[in-house]
Every structure is written in structure tokens, then in C-alpha cells.
Structure 1
Amino acid sequence: MKQHLIWIAAAVMMTSACGDGKPAYDASGNFEADEVIVSAQQNGEILSFPVNEGDKLNAGQVVGQIDVTIPALQQQQVQASIRALHDKTNNPQPQALLVERQLLVQEAQLQQLYRERKRTENLVKSDAATQKQLDDMNAQVDQLEKQLNVTRQQRNLYNANIATQNRSILAEQGPLEKSMAQYAEQVRKGQVVNPVTGVVLSRYALRGEMASVGKPLYKIADIDTLYLKAYVTGVTLPKIKLGQTVAVRIDQGNKGYKTYSGVLTWISDKSEFTPKTIQTKNERANLVYAIKVRVKNDGYLKIGMYGEMLIHQP
């Protein structure tokens, strides 16, 4: 990489000159792209990976699968544990069911006694029944009401116990859900998802190999837009600014140059000395500044291709 930068910087100082002694261009360098190295996010055997160099992939496209059998089984195990907890909370205790049935029976009996007492009261008023019969009926109602109150207290006690047990059971659900989310994330990361739209530049893995977290699988770049990284001297620096439209050209052999319109997107805030091993003693004191020019690619521009920048359109 260092040697590469040396040759680029040297090209700035060793430019060909026009007839009047002025440089034929203002900066020169090589085209590059925003390259993304896609790495594995899970450990395991690569089950499928149909990616080839030169393939054009879309962002979000699934391009491979890593074996995630172990985390998938662990996820299923946690799901079964959560279902078992819900079964415990949804099934009341047998004692509670018995008390609830007893309460329903006693309430029905009490309603029947209320009706019998009302009928007896009417009979007493018409001298068809004695006061003792009414007193006996009131005693039965009073006794059953007391029994009903006791049964209700038992039901409330069972319900309180059940609620306490359910809270204890459901308290275990939170950690289990977190574990399930972790295993689900591991399963999701078993899919190799392409992050950006672009063309595959290099492939580093094959189906059947073992992948590990962080292992590079392939390199991809969006080549629809390339950047000419070049170097300008301190003399040229005051003539350029960010967002400025400049001309970029490439050599077309006998046809001369092919020219593109570019936009200056980056200017380094640090200067660099020109390579001492190439330049003459007088030129060694010169400083250069790295710049980047964004150029829309029509298909003829390639990564690494040499290009020249002209501040003024030719």
C-alpha cells in the first residue's frame, strides 16, 4: 500500500508538460471504490454459498447459509420450557376446583332457602304455617350463610396462593425469553445477507468450509460510482474546493482521452512529502495533498485504473 501511494504521488510531480511548460493536468491517480468485506457472523459449516466473482448482488439478498443446528435446538428447548410454565399457570390446583364447585352448590341451596323462607312467611301471615316453622327456616338460612362465608374465604385463600405461585412461575419466563432471543439471533446470523448493492470483487470461502465469526467470505463494491484518488501540489490547492465540478479523463489509446464530469468530495487536511527516492533534490521539498473525485461510472472505469483530473473543463 505504501509503495502504491509513493507511485501515485510521484506521478503528480512527473507529469508531462505542454508546449508552454505547464502541466497537462492538475492531478493524477487511480480509481477506487467503497469496498465492503462481508464476514461470517456465526460459527459452523458453510452449507450453501453460491457467490462468484463478478456477480451483481442486491442489498438484503441472502447469499449463503451457515449451519446453525445447535442454536436452533437450544431455541426449541427454551420454547418448550416457556410452554411448560404457561401450562402450570393455566391449570388450577384440584383443591381450588373442589372449593369452587362447593361454593356454587351452596349458593344454589341458599337461593332455594330464600324462596322457601319467603313462602313460609306468607303462610304464617295467612295462619297456614306456624311461627316455629318460620324460625326453623331462618335458622337454616343463617347456618348456610355462615357456611357460604367460610367457603368464600377458602376460595379467596386458594386464589391468593395460586396468584403467588403464578407470579413465581412467570418470574422464570423473563430470563427464558431473553435466552430464546439470543438463540434466535444466532440462528438469524447463520444467514449470510449481502449488505450493499454491488459487484463481487473477490471470494474467500467455499461451500463445505468451516466459518468462524469474523472470517471474510467475500468482498463487494458498488462500482456504479468510483472515486479518483489523486494528489495535488500546494500550488493547485488554493484553486479547488469541496463540491467543485472538475473534469476527469482516462486514456483511450489512439482515440485520445475519454472525459467524465466529477465532483470533488474530499480534500486531505494533512500534507505529505513527495517520495525522496524518486524526486530530485529540488522537488523533495514539495508537499502534496490527497483528494477524491466522485465519478459516475458508465462501465468503462475500473478499480485501479489510472486517471487524470483537470480543474477546468477541456
Structure 2
Amino acid sequence: MKTVVLYINLFALSMTSCKTNRVDYDASGAFEAVETIVPAEADGVIRELLLEEGQTISAGKALGYIDTVALFLKKRQLEAQATAVLSKRPNVAKEIASLQEELRHAKNEQERLINLVRDDAATPKELDAATAQVNIIRKRIEGQQSSLGITSFSLQEETAPLYVQIEQLDDQLRKCKIVNPITGTILAKYVEVNEMATIGKPLYRIADTKKMILRAYVTSKKLGDFKIGQRVQVQVDKGQDAFKNYAGIVEWVSDKAEFTPKTIQTKDERANLVYAMKVKVENDGYLKIGMYGQVVLAPHSNEQK
């Protein structure tokens, strides 16, 4: 009888052990998010930086600025230079005003002689001389207008490089404003107010945590069960022996095998070759970067115990 009881106990222990080691998921891994390191786009001292780690910030929000005094003064100098150059442009109307008056008198004389010739009170030769005078004054006006136009154009061209430099300074001034590029959560802050920023220096790291990526690993046996665009179920721990389920979409499957990362599964299973895959999941606020998750192909209830 003791022998029978012993066999029964060993059988029960064996069944319990098998149940404990049973893998009821098809892939597992850790959550990550697309992270963006926001760099400084200008050189100078950071005068304002309104952000803290863990803060959620919308895209386009102004977070601060880098000192702009030197750039602003340089722009004022270039604007003054351009104004000084353009002040030399001739006033065409004033420059040719006297010639226009001469032309008016010459035309009046021409009209007077036309009437006199009609009445035989003047000779055609006198009328020809008056007409020639009108034509001469007109040519002088055309020449003066052409000369003044060339001068104005030359001065305008002289200011063109100055305006290009002003536009460049405007671009640099815009880049002194620290504007958040994407909606997300601040993961790390690398600088503080009054520190020196240089172009390309990281200011902070941000990630869009509303759409999380589960980087899971699947064995070669189950690799054929997954396809890009396939809908799957993702489980994360929710208390002891319970899971919280999410709908996920497979958006990438690696075509190259690799050893399982050390953070996944047991020591023996880490020695196996697996394939990486990415599953996109909408985050309700519960999921965190680095949290463990598992993928199942068969549907489950919202909570399993």
C-alpha cells in the first residue's frame, strides 16, 4: 500500500511540474518605443528649458530658447548696411524734372511755329529746328532714365548678399527656439538652464508611448505562424498569475536567426536560435518601456488566472 501511495504522489508531482513548465504563448519579449533624441540647433547659453523627465508634451510646443542677443545685433547691423546702400538710389523723378520742363517749353514752341507756318508767318526751316529740339530733349530724358535705372539696379544688387545674410540669421534665430518635434513622454533630460549648448548636442530624449512596440522572439518552429500585418493578442502581467490583454499587429519579422537575449526565458532557452519580431500595440497608459510581454495566436479572455 505504501508503494502505491508513493507512486501516486510521484505522478501528481510530475503532472504539477509539467503544468508549471507549460508554455502557453507563442513569442515573448519586452516593450520598447520609438525614441527621439532632440539636439540643439544653435550655439549659445540655454536661457529657458521648460521640461522634466516623465512629462508628456505635445508636438510643436515651445520649451525654451538659446541666447539670441549676438544674432539679433548682427541682424540689426546688416539691416542698417542695407538701408545705407539703398539710400544712395537716385530719385528718378527729381533728376529728370528739369529736362521734362525743357521738353514742355520745346513742345509749346513747336506748336506755336506750326500755327505760324500755317499762316505763312514763319518758315518751315524754323519749324524743323523746333522739332529737332523736341527730339533732342526726349533722347536726353531717355538716356537719363536709363542711366538712373542702371544705378538703382546696381545698388539693389549690392544689397542682395546682405539680405541673404539676414535670412540666414532669421533661420538661426528660429533654431534658437527649442520646439518639441513629436508628441510623447520625456525619458531623459541631458541639460539644464544656463548650460552651454552647441549644435548637435543632445538636449533631451522623448518617445511616443501611445504606440508601443513589443520586440518579441519566436522559435523557428512557430515562425511560420506569424505574418506581417497579422493580428495577434499580447499579454502582460497583471498581478499574480493574471494577465492584461491587448490587441496587436505584427509589423516586422526578422529573416535572420539570433540567440535569444539574456533577459528572455531561462538559461537553457536562451541558447536557442530565435527570430525577432515587432508587434505594435496601442497603449492605454499601463504599458511601460522594458515591461515583459508575450504573444499568443489564440484569443484569450481579458484576464486569466
Q: TM-score range by the shorter chain?
A: 0.7 to 0.9
TM-score, normalised by the number of residues in structure 1: 0.79
- Deviation digits for residues 274-312 of structure 1 (CA, Å, limit 9, x no counterpart): 479x745x984x311111111111111111111111122
Aligned to 1:101: 98
- On the 8 A contact 1:66/1:192 being kept in 2, the answer is yes
Aligned to 1:127: none
Q: Post-superposition shift, 1:48?
A: 0.9
- On the 8 A contact 2:27/2:216 being kept in 1, the answer is yes
Aligned to 1:80: 80
SS at structure 1 position matched to 2:53: coil
Aligned to 2:12: none
- On the 8 A contact 2:215/2:279 being kept in 1, the answer is yes
Aligned to 1:219: 205
Aligned to 1:14: none
- On the 8 A contact 2:90/2:148 being kept in 1, the answer is no
Q: Post-superposition shift, 1:24?
A: 2.1
Task: Tell me how far apart the structure 1 counterparts of residues 31 and 113 of structure 2 sit (CA, whole Å).
Answer: 103
Residue of structure 2 aligned with 1:115, choices 112, 120, 127: 112
Tell me the percent identity: 37
- On the 8 A contact 2:103/2:138 being kept in 1, the answer is no
Q: List aligned pairs for 1:32-47, cutoff 5 A.
A: 32-47=32-47
Aligned to 2:24: 24
- Deviation digits for residues 137-191 of structure 1 (CA, Å, limit 9, x no counterpart): x555444333333333322222222233233223323322322221111111000
Q: Post-superposition shift, 1:30?
A: 1.0
Aligned to 1:13: none
Residue of structure 2 aligned with 1:184, choices 167, 170, 173: 170
Task: Tell me how far apart the structure 1 counterparts of residues 278 and 232 of structure 2 sit (CA, whole Å).
Answer: 11
Do the aligned partners of residues 203 and 134 (structure 1) sit closer, same or farther apart at CA in structure 2, a change above 3 Å counting? same
Q: List aligned pairs for 1:96-175, cutoff 5 A.
A: 96-97=95-96, 100-112=97-109, 114-115=111-112, 118=115, 121-122=118-119, 133-135=121-123, 140-175=126-161
Task: Tell me how far apart the structure 2 counterparts of residues 18 and 159 of structure 1 sit (CA, whole Å).
Answer: 102
Task: Tell me how far apart the structure 2 counterparts of residues 153 and 50 of structure 1 sit (CA, whole Å).
Answer: 68
- On the 8 A contact 1:228/1:294 being kept in 2, the answer is yes
Aligned to 1:201: 187
Aligned to 1:65: 65
- Deviation digits for residues 216-273 of structure 1 (CA, Å, limit 9, x no counterpart): 1111111111111111111110111111111111111236111111111111121113
Q: List aligned pairs for 1:264-275, cutoff 5 A.
A: 264-274=250-260
- On the 8 A contact 1:233/1:287 being kept in 2, the answer is yes
SS at structure 2 position matched to 1:235: helix
Do the aligned partners of residues 144 and 240 (structure 1) sit closer, same or farther apart at CA in structure 2, a change above 3 Å counting? same
Comparing 30-39 with 168-177, greater Cα deviation is found at 168-177
Task: Tell me how far apart the structure 2 counterparts of residues 229 and 275 of structure 1 sit (CA, whole Å).
Answer: 11
Do the aligned partners of residues 142 and 242 (structure 1) sit closer, same or farther apart at CA in structure 2, a change above 3 Å counting? same
Task: Tell me how far apart the structure 2 counterparts of residues 246 and 156 of structure 1 sit (CA, whole Å).
Answer: 82
Q: Post-superposition shift, 1:74?
A: 2.0
Task: Tell me how far apart the structure 2 counterparts of residues 64 and 114 of structure 1 sit (CA, whole Å).
Answer: 75
Task: Tell me how far apart the structure 2 counterparts of residues 24 and 106 of structure 1 sit (CA, whole Å).
Answer: 104
Task: Tell me how far apart the structure 2 counterparts of residues 108 and 190 of structure 1 sit (CA, whole Å).
Answer: 63
Comparing 171-180 with 226-235, greater Cα deviation is found at 171-180
Q: What letter matches 2:87 in structure 1? A: D
Task: Tell me how far apart the structure 1 counterparts of residues 148 and 18 of structure 2 sit (CA, whole Å).
Answer: 95
Task: Tell me how far apart the structure 1 counterparts of residues 150 and 258 of structure 2 sit (CA, whole Å).
Answer: 73
Do the aligned partners of residues 150 and 120 (structure 1) sit closer, same or farther apart at CA in structure 2, a change above 3 Å counting? closer
User: How many residue pairs were aligned?
Assistant: 282
Structure 2 unmatched ranges of 5 or more: 1-16, 301-305
Structure 1 unmatched ranges of 5 or more: 1-16, 125-132
